[in-house]
Amino acid sequence: MADVPTPTVLILAGQRLGQVDPLAEAHGVQHKCLVPLLGRPLIGYVLDAVDAAFPDAPIVVSINDPHALDDEPEARRFFEAGRMRTVTSARNLLESVFAAADGVRFPLLITTGDNVLMTAEALRGFHAFALAEGADAAALFARKEDILAAHPEGQPRFWQFRDGEFSGCNTFWMKDSDAFSVGEIFRGGGQFLKFPKRFIAAFGLANLIGFRLHLFTVRRMLARISTRFGKTLRVQIADNGRLAIDVDNSFSHAVAERLLRADGAADRSA
């Protein structure tokens, strides 16, 4: 049996150029990934999950200031072990991914610096899923009912398909650099539900009509997009709805805190 390749893990922790994230500003820090939660920076929880999932995985953090983590105690051991480096984020998410992935060892697993409820089990399972499916690129989703079961206000936005409503978990996987051609669909700015013209430009009119009429299951939609781009795209549906709850604002910060406390997480701020 062939060895399972260890992914490089990319943590996206940038923010809009020239702007301080409102949550970061409210907590007196320059970067959202350093916002404290139970006395720890948000990114500390993400690093814990990555480390437990892949103890030898290289880690790249994309962030506006590449020195922002230099004095962060939770990042120190990764720097000292030579496992982690930072790169300057670009003007948008897509360009940041391209810049951070330059020269990395594939496959590449991508998540975000505010994904504090991510687990090692979910990361390992997602990586194994993408490999087993022969995917060029993959995304992690959760069902609306599982997200609302975790918290009734944990996530306000959902994509509606024939087989249910889903939200993304801000976690993606790329087989190799060729898979980044799929990322070009986000160059126009994303937010496809809000801007139908962007949806048409990215996925085609027929797919927009099918999506709006709920004709496709989520996997069927991915199969159609796979055909459009000539790449094998796959989606894993997580059982754990908490994975779709990240820290975007003060409300979701409070939600994440309640969920972590319920897990018995220690409050290190005392």
- Write the pLDDT tens digit of every residue in 252-269: 999 999 999 999 998 998
Q: What angle do CA 230, 131, 13 make, to 5 degrees?
A: 85
Tell whether 212 is covered by a domain: yes
CB atoms within 10 A of CB 18: 6
Q: Per the omega criterion (within 30 degrees of 0), is the bond before 36 cis? A: no
Q: Do residues 30 and 110 share a domain?
A: yes
Domain annotation covers residue 75: yes
User: How confident is the model over 75-88, as a mean pLDDT?
Assistant: 97
Task: Enumerate residues 6+ apart whose C-beta is below 8 A from 80.
Answer: none
Residue labelled with tokens 């809009």: 16
Claim to verify: residue 97 and residue 203 sit in the same structural domain: no
User: Quick one: 260 and 224 in the same domain?
Assistant: no
Based on the domain organization, do 188 and 158 belong to the same domain?
Answer: yes
Q: Which residue has the higher pLDDT, 2 or 204?
A: 204
Q: Is residue 87 part of a domain?
A: yes
| 104 and 151 together in one domain | no
Is 21 inside a domain boundary?
yes
Q: Which residues, at least 6 apart from 69, have a Cβ–Cβ distance to it below 8 Å?
A: 43, 61, 63, 75, 79, 86
Residue 105 CB neighbour total at 10 angstroms: 11
The residue that leads in pLDDT, 172 or 189, is 172
Tokens 């350093």 map to which residue? 34
- Take residue 125 and report the two structure tokens written for it: 């399972």
pLDDT of residue 208: 72
pLDDT at 1: 40
In the numeric block, which tokens belong to residue 69? 């983590």
Beta partners for 247?
none
What is the distance between the alpha carbons of residues 72 and 39, in angstroms, rounded to a whole number? 13
pLDDT 10s digits, 21-69: 999 999 999 999 999 999 999 999 999 999 999 999 999 999 999 999 9
What are the tens digits of pLDDT across the range 4-14?
A: 899 999 999 99
What totals of helices (H) and strands (E) does the chain contain, helices first? Answer: 10, 10
Question: Domain containing 107: what range?
Answer: 1-117+249-270
Residues 261 and 218 placed together within one structural domain of the fold: no
Whether 137 maps to a domain, the answer reads no
Share of the chain above pLDDT 90, in %: 67
Q: Could you tell me where the DSSP H helices lie in the chain?
A: 22-26, 42-53, 73-80, 93-101, 120-132, 144-150, 196-203, 205-212, 218-229, 250-262
Closest by CA to 212, choosing from 229, 233, 196, 234, is 196
The per-residue pLDDT for 195 is 57
Instruction: Let me know whether 159 and 199 are in one domain.
Output: yes
CATH number of the domain encompassing residue 96: 3.90.550.10
- Residue 128 inside a domain? The answer is no
Q: What is the token pair recorded at 13?
A: 């922790």
Let me know if residue 173 belongs to a domain: no
The answer to whether 229 touches 182, Cβ cutoff 8 Å, is yes
Condensed to tens digits (0 to 9), the pLDDT of residues 132-181 reads: 999 999 999 999 999 999 988 767 778 899 999 999 999 999 999 998 87
| Statement to judge: residues 4 and 113 lie in one domain | yes
- The reply to whether 34 and 66 lie within a common domain is yes
Q: Are residues 1 and 102 in the same domain?
A: yes
Please check whether residues 240 and 262 belong to one and the same domain. no
Same domain as 239, residue 263: no
User: How many domains are there within the chain?
Assistant: 2
- Residue 125 domain-assigned? no
Task: Give the global pTM.
Answer: 0.91
Give the least confident one: 17-21, 43-47, 114-118, 187-191: 187-191
Q: Please, which pLDDT band fits residue 182 given cuts at 50, 70 and 90? A: confident
